[in-house]
Amino acid sequence: MTRKGAAIGTFDGVHLGHAIVLATLTKESDIRNLEPIAVTFDRHPLSLIAPQRAPKAITTLEKKEDLIRKSGAFPIVIPFDEKLRSTTAADWMKFLKEEHGVEMLVVGYDTTFGCDGLSYSISDYRRLGEKIGMEVIEAPFVAGISSSAIRKAIVEGNVEGAAKMLGRHFSLPGIVVDGNKLGRTIGFPTANLLPSAGIVTPKNGVYAAKAILPDGKHADAMVNIGVRPTIMRGDNQTVEAHLINWGGDLYGKNIRLLFYGRLRDEVRFNSIDALRKQLEADRQDTIEFLQETKK
């Protein structure tokens, strides 16, 4: 069995705090000639423990695995079920040692695992590790960055603040579905995105964004999230992206929206003409905003 170094966590968002843990893991593993792995879960533990309090995810599981791989570690996804929920910290570490060959464990400043681990400190995990021959290392502390803080920023529309904590622009993946096609009649055709299930969505409003298309190319996009109060009635939220200077058919295809900044609140206009004029201004604001980010 290959000797390994490991880190454990939900790694929701794989943000800059996680990046420090993963960088410590890869660095210390390299020193010890270990293979670095990041052990994570197929869902947030709260989805089983307290479903009503389970947060929406910042990234899909697939994206999380991709980001972990890019850090230099190999992702190991474990189903979070009742058996795992009742596993003690000591048994967790024995499992990692016996099933995965883990000889070194890297933990963050607030990392806890095991049904009895909420009260554990780094010294407790080190004590458990000593008993089975597993070294436990604490990664450097990164203040002010957490998955909950990033999630809060996103739902408040502060996508720029979220980007600073993520180390990249927040992205919303989904599939393009059929819409009412009103946008094309007023010169603003849109791709209507059905977001991937369980992913957090930014606050209603208009955003400067980029769309990652199925072929991997990027297109500047003006995104409206909301209920379209000028033309619709009700409270069904939609995500519509007007791709600037781009034409093509995206129906049924998967795209990803990268959010750069929030331009304004969603408002109701008295006429379609007034809406059109505002959309023209929004398009120009989007172009200028995205040009500024390149400087």
Of 168, 157, 161, the C-alpha closest to 262 is 157
Query: Is 23 part of a structural domain of the chain?
Result: yes
Both 140 and 170 in a single domain? no
Q: Do 275 and 175 fall within a single domain?
A: yes
Phi, psi (5° rounding) for residue 225? -115, 125
Whole-angstrom Cα distance, residue 140 to residue 107? 9
Asked, for residue 156, whether it belongs to a domain, the answer is no
CATH of the domain at 37: 3.40.50.620
Question: Are 32 and 69 in the same domain?
Answer: yes
256-289 pLDDT tens trace: 999 999 999 988 887 888 888 999 999 999 999 9
Same domain, 227 and 272: yes
Per-chain mean pLDDT for the chain: 91
More confident residue, 40 or 49: 40
> Which whole number is the average pLDDT over 53-59?
93
Same domain, 123 and 168: no
State how far the Cα of 146 lies from the Cα of 50, in Å rounded to an integer: 20
Task: For residue 180, name the pLDDT band (cuts at 50, 70, 90).
Answer: low
91-125: per-residue pLDDT in tens? 999 999 999 999 999 998 878 888 888 888 899 99
Q: How many domains does the chain have?
A: 2
Domain endpoint, select from 145, 174, 203: 145
Token representation of residue 56: 């929406």
Q: Which domain holds residue 196?
A: 163-293
Task: Please check whether residues 122 and 39 belong to one and the same domain.
Answer: yes
- The answer to whether the CB of 279 falls within 8 A of the CB of 188 is yes
293 pLDDT above the threshold of 90: no
CATH of the domain at 173: 2.40.30.30
Reported as a single tens digit per residue, the pLDDT across 201-223 is: 999 999 999 999 999 999 999 99
* Integer Cα distance of 85 and 114 in angstroms: 7
| Whether 26 and 107 share a structural domain | yes
Instruction: Please report the pLDDT score of residue 103 as a whole number.
Output: 98
The mean-pLDDT minimum among 28-32, 128-132, 270-274 falls in 270-274
In this structure, the answer to whether residues 239 and 140 fall within a common structural domain is no
Helix (H) or strand (E) holding 135: strand 135-138
Residue 153, domain member (yes or no):
no
Q: Is residue 209 part of a domain?
A: yes
What distance in Å separates the CA atoms of residue 176 and residue 173, rounded to the nearest whole number? Answer: 10
Q: Which residues pair with 258 in a beta bridge?
A: 171, 210
Whether the Cβ atoms of residue 243 and residue 193 lie closer than 8 Å to each other = no
Confirm whether pTM is higher than 0.85. yes
- Domain end among 145, 177, 206: 145
Examine residue 158 and state whether it is found in any structural domain, yes or no.
no
Whether residue 127 is found in the same domain as residue 175: no
Picking from 197, 156, 170, the residue whose alpha carbon sits closest to that of residue 15 is 170
Look at residue 155 and tell me if it is in a domain: no
pLDDT of residue 252: 94
The answer on 167 and 63 residing in a single domain is no
Same domain, 65 and 181: no
93 neighbors 131 (Cβ within 8 angstroms)? no
Residue 100 lies in a domain: yes
Give bridge partners of residue 85 from the DSSP assignment. Answer: none
Is 262 part of any domain?
Answer: yes
Domain match, 195 and 125 both: no
Where among 118, 145, 172 does a domain terminate?
Answer: 145
> Which region among 59-73, 91-105, 126-140, 281-295 has the lowest average model confidence (pLDDT)?
281-295
